[in-house]
């Protein structure tokens, strides 16, 4: 049998690896992307006790990007994007994240390739705060990013990137990659708790100490990782930007991060390798997130997402 | 085939005063049903749907629904609601709080 492959034209703006596993255009619905929630498996369907309320993040939605004065933006191609957003609440950067101060969306996949070498995530996205007050608004979005939650036959690991846009109202605009600093203890990681299920290297998004310069136990600065991302001149204007993260699954290393027209070489950098968890070998969960820096709801719009492997 | 999605808007939130739910974009949907569940002992609550042009300014839509003290769940149906939806829930106090679980089912 001779196969003829014809890709959808929308893929033209992407650079996928050999196998496009999922191409999610949010004009066609949620495509399996959903809110990140804890496990409701205890008495009365309670989740495990945690120092951070993992059930409080703002709900993800399909958005036409309607703005207060500029009207509807639609998406990069079409009408709808996947909108991650936050509730209008934040703690200072060096404190643990306030309940509701993040938005997280994930898709729950698994590995099917015994020789899997690379995993890659790409998206076209935009970001802006809600236009609920006067001003430019750029400094009110703390961070956004992407990570894979992976478990292979030996380790659970979470390679990811985080754009630190603003720290306590001060524009920072630098990339970090996910890796726990040396010597971080479980007590450091879990806001003083030594018991519990949390382990350093798991759920970096809300664990570990954070410091007023934007550094944190959970994230390390990307070398030469300053980047002045395009934020338009008002909260009611958005532009669509490109992001790509390539990870070497076999070597358990980062390969490269492309953001707009820049590619950061991450070869040789590694995420934290943790002991495996029960029953989740071959887990591949791509996850996007956004964080607010003040008492203001902020938005991350994803026009579309491509997950590819090789 | 229609697109359908259920979102959990409030996940067992304890309220002790008047509360409005997180603004939710619904422009893609033609019909919406809010389900409000109240867990445990609670006072009678009034639940009012609201719509908005921008997610910032809100106006009541339809008539309010009452959750009696011995009710566990109510549903509010909506159509022709524009681009944003939320609920205004009143009746809870610090002396008589209520724990609410709110789903929004959308189809379009």
Q: Flag if A35 and B7 touch (Cβ within 8 Å).
A: yes
Distance of alpha carbon B86 from alpha carbon B11, whole angstroms: 15
State the pTM of this model.
0.97
* pLDDT over 70, % of chain B: 100
Q: Which of A37, A68, A83 sits opposite B25 (nearest CB)?
A: A83
User: Strands (DSSP E) along B1-108, which ranges?
Assistant: 4-15, 19-20, 24-25, 31-39, 45-52, 59-60, 65-67, 73-79, 84-90, 98-107
Give the burial string for A101-119 (b: 16+ CB within 10 Å, else e). bbbbbbbebebeeeebebb
Domain around B78: 4-107
Please tell me the total count of domains within chain B.
1
Q: Flag if A62 and B7 touch (Cβ within 8 Å).
A: no
Tell me, what's the pLDDT at A298?
98
Domain around A289: 22-309
Q: Which of A35, A64, A131 sits opposite B83 (nearest CB)?
A: A64
- Among B10, B14, B20, B24, the strongest candidate for a mutation testing the A interface, having the largest count of A CBs within 10 A, is B24
A12 belongs to a structural domain: no
| Own/partner long-range contacts of A278-284 (Cβ < 8 Å, ≥24 apart) | A280/A151, A280/A156, A281/A151, A281/A152, A281/A153, A282/A110, A282/A111, A282/A112, A282/A151, A282/A152, A283/A110, A283/A111, A283/A149, A283/A150, A283/A151, A283/A156, A284/A109, A284/A110, A284/A111, A284/A119, A284/A148, A284/A149, A284/A150
A286 belongs to a structural domain: yes
Q: Which of B12, B22, B54 sits opposite A66 (nearest CB)?
A: B54
Tell me, what's the pLDDT at A65?
96
Distance of alpha carbon B23 from alpha carbon A4, whole angstroms: 46
Q: How far is CA B36 from CA A184, A185, B98, B101, in A?
A: 43, 42, 11, 6
Chain A environment of B9 (Cβ under 8 Å): 59
Q: Which of B8, B12, B28 sits opposite A59 (nearest CB)?
A: B8
B15 touches chain A (CB under 8 A): no
Chain A environment of B12 (Cβ under 8 Å): 55
Q: Encode chain A (310 residues) as per-residue pLDDT tens digits.
A: 898 888 899 999 999 999 999 999 999 999 999 999 888 888 888 888 788 888 899 999 999 999 999 889 999 999 999 999 999 999 999 999 999 999 999 999 999 999 999 999 999 999 999 999 999 999 999 999 999 999 999 999 999 999 999 999 999 999 999 999 999 999 999 999 888 678 899 999 999 999 999 999 999 999 999 999 999 889 999 999 999 999 999 999 999 999 999 999 999 999 999 999 999 999 999 999 999 999 999 999 999 999 999 9
A and B: number of Cβ contacts within 8 A: 51
Q: What Rg, from alpha-carbon coordinates, does chain A have?
A: 19
A60 touches chain B (CB under 8 A): yes
Structure tokens at B66: 């009452």
Within 10 Å of residue A210's Cβ, how many Cβ atoms? 21
Tell me, what's the pLDDT at A50?
81
A212 belongs to a structural domain: yes
Q: Flag if B7 and A61 touch (Cβ within 8 Å).
A: yes
Q: Which of A90, A82, A103 is nearest to B25 (CA)?
A: A82
Q: How far is CA B107 from CA A33, A34, A123, B77, in A?
A: 17, 16, 26, 12
Distance of alpha carbon B25 from alpha carbon B54, whole angstroms: 9
Within 10 Å of residue A9's Cβ, how many Cβ atoms? 8
- Among A27, A66, A85, A299, the strongest candidate for a mutation testing the B interface, having the largest count of B CBs within 10 A, is A66
Q: Among all residues of chain B, which has the CA nearest to that of A45? A: B12
Q: Flag if A29 and B3 touch (Cβ within 8 Å).
A: yes
Structure tokens at A16: 């996928």
Q: Among all residues of chain A, which has the CA nearest to that of B2? A: A29
Tell me, what's the pLDDT at A231?
95
Within 10 Å of residue A132's Cβ, how many Cβ atoms? 16
Tell me, what's the pLDDT at A136?
94
Tell me, what's the pLDDT at B30?
97
DSSP code for B76:
E
A131 touches chain B (CB under 8 A): yes
Contact (Cβ atoms closer than 8 angstroms) between residue A62 and residue B28: yes
Which residue ranges in chain B fall short of pLDDT 70? Answer: none
3-state DSSP assignment of residue B73:
strand
Q: Which of B3, B7, B22 sits opposite A87 (nearest CB)?
A: B22
Structure tokens at A297: 């709801």
CATH number at residue B23: 2.60.120.380
A87 touches chain B (CB under 8 A): yes
Please tell me the total count of domains within chain A.
1
Within 10 Å of residue A135's Cβ, how many Cβ atoms? 11
A10 belongs to a structural domain: no
What torsion do the CA atoms of A74, A76, A82, A84 make, to the nearest 10 degrees? -90
Structure tokens at A70: 């500029």
CATH number at residue A74: 2.60.120.260
- Among A59, A102, A302, the strongest candidate for a mutation testing the B interface, having the largest count of B CBs within 10 A, is A59
A5 belongs to a structural domain: no
């Amino acid at each position: 049998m001779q196969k003829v492959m014809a890709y959808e034209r929308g893929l033209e703006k992407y650079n996928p690896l050999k196998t496009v596993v999922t191409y999610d255009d949010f004009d066609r619905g949620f495509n399996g992307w959903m809110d990140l929630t804890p496990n409701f498996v205890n008495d009365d369907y309670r989740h495990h006790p945690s120092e951070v309320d993992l059930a409080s993040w703002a709900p993800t939605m399909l958005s036409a990007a309607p703005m207060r004065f500029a009207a509807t933006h639609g998406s990069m191609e079409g009408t709808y994007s996947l909108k991650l957003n936050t509730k209008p609440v934040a703690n200072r950067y060096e404190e643990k994240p306030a309940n509701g101060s993040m938005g997280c969306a994930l898709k729950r996949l698994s590995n099917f390739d015994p020789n899997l070498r690379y995993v890659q995530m790409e998206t076209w996205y935009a970001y802006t705060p809600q236009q609920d007050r006067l001003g430019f608004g750029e400094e009110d979005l703390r961070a956004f990013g992407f990570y894979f939650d992976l478990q292979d036959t030996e380790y659970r690991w979470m390679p990811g990137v985080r754009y630190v846009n603003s720290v306590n109202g001060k524009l920072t605009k630098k990339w970090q990659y996910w890796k726990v600093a040396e010597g971080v203890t479980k007590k450091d990681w879990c806001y003083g708790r030594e018991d519990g299920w949390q382990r350093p290297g798991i759920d970096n998004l809300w664990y570990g100490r954070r410091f007023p310069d934007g550094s944190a136990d959970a994230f390390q600065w990307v070398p030469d990782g300053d980047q002045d991302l395009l934020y338009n001149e008002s909260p009611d204007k958005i532009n669509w930007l490109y992001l790509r993260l390539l990870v070497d699954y076999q070597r358990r290393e980062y390969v490269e991060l492309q953001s707009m027209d820049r590619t950061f070489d991450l070869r040789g950098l590694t995420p934290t390798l943790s002991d495996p968890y029960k029953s989740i070998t071959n887990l591949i969960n791509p996850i996007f997130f956004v964080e607010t820096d003040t008492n203001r709801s902020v938005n991350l719009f994803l026009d579309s997402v491509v997950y590819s492997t090789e | 085939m229609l697109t359908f999605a259920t979102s959990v808007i409030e996940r067992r939130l304890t309220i002790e005063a008047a509360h409005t739910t997180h603004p939710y974009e619904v422009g893609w949907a033609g019909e919406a049903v809010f389900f409000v569940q109240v867990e445990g002992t609670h006072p009678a609550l009034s639940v009012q749907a609201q719509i908005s042009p921008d997610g910032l300014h809100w106006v009541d839509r339809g008539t309010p629904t009452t959750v009696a003290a011995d009710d566990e769940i109510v549903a509010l149906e909506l159509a022709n609601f524009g681009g944003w939806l939320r609920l205004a829930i009143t009746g809870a106090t610090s002396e008589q709080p209520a724990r609410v679980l709110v789903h929004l089912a959308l189809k379009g």
